[in-house]
A and B are shown apart, each in its own frame.
Chain A
């Protein structure tokens, strides 16, 4: 029994190591260590200095953390409550747009000269953004819960697209309502708030930056890494929250709904209410994630950042890890970001460094005609130029392969038993007894 449920990595490890591997924390940090080592090795090959290495790891960690948070929410929705939400970006967009519009300075006292807003303090605006995302989740989920899984998926996707189209429309770019001038910025986007962590190191925290610069490093490392640590705290908080939820009576009902909604209903649980609460909690976290991820990464948000591709990427991270397992979800995010999302670009850098490719091929027909002339370099160059498109192709292929070969993901078949008594073990032992007697009969 235990051998069958072990994940593909644990199964291949020698026994003493497998015992360690069984711990969740070892799984997460073991995978993270391997991916870090790969990136450090690539950085070494490319001759990065210490700052370069730190920066490359920071970028990697940042993406792992934000994808990890989103993937945990998807796991709460799909892995626990059985809600097939493929409108993840919509809730992120609502969170960050609400916070941004509320925190923009009021018209007239506008230092940057771009769109005015309501001039709320950032902390309040963030809370409002989270609440707005939660409210949107409630509005989206309340009527849709009666729908079949696939209809629910279509509704959430349509909802996310409506949100994106609304923020993109030129009519809402800038408008005046009840004396307040504000707007979404339309297709051109809107400048977001300044990052408080960076502000801190630019003012009060300046001595820390100066000290690091004294060590011969670029001072930029300090605010960059500090912000990643803040996000990491959000990830840990989300993990803790969802782990607590899933271990609580509330979580047991959710798992019950996922496995058999009618049976759970017959135990006098109002399944709709549980599903809505789980959905709204997840949407609130997504709103927060939208603010801390999209709102801060470039100081600018456009509707183009909330394309369905992003939802797709987040879902892959969950499917790699296996729905229903929080640890698996985090490990899946590490593997997805490290290997699939950022991997192709790393390979490209290494090849660029060590293989001298000559010629150029700005378009695919050019590459093809060069290939016809017996020159393979332009084709490779073209392939490397298109890394960002090819990584989505790669992601799609990984997804198809996983669904055909291992639909439960790496750790998805780890059963989290809902009842406090091990019923499955009893049933299994009874069944074994019965087959033994049956075989005894056959031998006669």
Chain B
């Protein structure tokens, strides 16, 4: 009898289904409330549009960072907690290079590269912005991507490679060690200060009922960079031999190896792509926020995980969609909840998704 009791009676609905139904119901209720507020004019359309635009831009950064995390999570089978710190390191390296180029000649290069730590160089003196110094920004972007790829490859060589046979949890713990090592190396080099980076850039004020929506040059650049890199990743995965090999390995690792795919080389390529995307995301998020500090990537990491899990681990398009969704959720939630809870709402939504659909909303096991 004790065993029989464990089995739910036939008439009882499936628990997962109940949870999903609940999830959808709550979502519908919230949507209804937004409409009610819009019509009742307690929520200005310009404010809501501002939230949506802000959320889209922020979400694209999360999605960009998520692609790399999703790829390595799927291929190597472990959650890389150091991914956030790859983002921070490349943001620092990229912005250091931007400062170096923008301020070369007028300031000490060493102080420039270290972003004026110890108040030696101030952002307003260098005057970096997307519209003032586009060249320096582009160089910084490239350096950040290269830096991210280099860091990812370096730690794969020295830490993860010899642990390929270890379990997912051992690798996860090792990646936590890598994360803290990197983060506090940044503290060692740059202290715990936050660095202001840019001066005001050109922005377009889009008129909207109830006010205006600011669309700034950094945001436009961010959307462009995110779009271009996502198209590139799509082409890489669908049109190249390497992409085919990556998809094959993700689908069935042993079978891929049997068919003669050089798995180590594919893993290296995956780290390079993922690291470069993390680097781009790091540079762009620092541009978007206008500041950088050692916790930049760490605070982003859980949101990136949220996006990746929502999109389904291993799915590149899922990671992007999940990231955008998380970005929108954190911003649109401000209709009801104070802004200081934005991240908490993102985490809560992730937990809710894990409980209702652990395989993700778009739940694919394919790239």
Contacts and interface: CB of A to CB of B under 8 A. Distances in A.
B76 to A, nearest CB: 12
B58 to A, nearest CB: 17
A392 B179 CA distance: 10
Interface stretch (B38-46, B229-237, B348-356): B348-356
Given A158-B302, A396-B184, A364 B340 contact: no
A297 B166 CA distance: 40
Given A151-B358, A158-B351, A407-B170, A364 B343 contact: no
Interface string A297-333: 0000000000011001001000100000000000000
Nearest to A148: B358
B259 interface: no
B305 interface: yes
Contact of A403 (B163, B168, B190, B338): B163
B187 interface: yes
Given A364-B190, A392-B184, A399-B177, A147 B358 contact: yes
A389 interface: yes
B162 A404 contact: yes
Contact of B173 (A165, A319, A390): A319
A366 B344 CA distance: 39
Contacts of B351: 144, 155, 158-159
A49 B16 CA distance: 66
B3 interface: yes
B347 A161 contact: yes
B117 A150 contact: no
A134 to B, nearest CB: 19
A361 to B, nearest CB: 10
Contacts of A151: 309, 354, 358
A362 B159 CA distance: 32
Given A363-B114, A403-B173, A157 B188 contact: no
Contacts of B2: 268
Interface string A126-148: 00000000000000000110111
Contact of B120 (A159, A171, A365): A365
Contacts of B305: 154
A97 interface: no
Interface residues of B, number: 55
Contacts of B189: 364
A369 interface: yes
A407 B354 contact: no
B188 A150 contact: no
Interface string B113-135: 11001101000000000000000
B169 A84 contact: yes
Given A150-B172, A170-B340, A270-B6, A400 B178 contact: yes
A397 B177 contact: yes
A77 to B, nearest CB: 13
A159 B117 CA distance: 34
B170 A144 contact: no
B6 A386 contact: no
B110 to A, nearest CB: 4
Contacts of B169: 84, 149-150
A369 B189 CA distance: 14
A169 B159 contact: no
A363 B191 contact: yes
Interface in B240-270: none
B200 to A, nearest CB: 27
A368 B114 CA distance: 11
Most buried by A among B177, B302, B354: B177
Interface of B is mostly: helix
B110 A368 contact: yes
A146 B354 CA distance: 10
A389 B344 contact: no
Interface in B332-367: 338, 340-341, 343-344, 347-348, 350-351, 354-355, 358
Contacts of A162: 344, 347-348
A315 B344 CA distance: 24
A400 B162 CA distance: 11
A230 to B, nearest CB: 32
B180 A309 contact: yes
Contact of B117 (A84, A363, A407): A363
A165 B159 contact: no
A364 B117 contact: yes
Contacts of B78: 150
A365 B117 contact: yes
Nearest to A140: B351
Most buried by B among A366, A389, A395: A389
Contacts of B108: 365
Contacts of A312: 176, 180
B139 interface: no
Contact of A315 (B120, B173, B178): B173
B185 interface: yes
B174 A386 contact: no
Contact of B341 (A157, A169, A386, A393): A169
Interface string B15-55: 00000000000000000000000000000000000000000
B180 A161 contact: no
A171 B344 contact: no
A369 B111 CA distance: 10
B181 A143 contact: no
Given A159-B351, A170-B340, A389-B188, A365 B6 contact: no
B343 A400 contact: no
B151 interface: no
B61 interface: no
A147 B181 CA distance: 28
The 10 A-B pairs of least Cβ separation, nearest first, read A396-B181, A399-B177, A363-B118, A158-B347, A392-B184, A389-B187, A396-B180, A169-B340, A400-B177, A365-B110
Given A153-B172, A393-B188, 19 more contacts: A148-B358, A150-B78, A150-B79, A151-B309, A155-B354, A158-B350, A159-B347, A161-B302, A171-B340, A270-B6, A308-B298, A389-B188, A390-B188, A393-B184, A393-B185, A396-B180, A397-B181, A399-B174, A403-B170
Interface of B: 2-3, 6, 78-79, 108, 110-111, 113-114, 117-118, 120, 159, 162-163, 166, 168-170, 172-174, 176-185, 187-191, 298, 302, 305-306, 309, 338, 340-341, 343-344, 347-348, 350-351, 354-355, 358
11 contacts: A147-B358, A165-B343, A365-B118, A390-B184, A393-B180, A396-B178, A399-B177, A400-B159, A403-B170, A404-B159, A404-B162
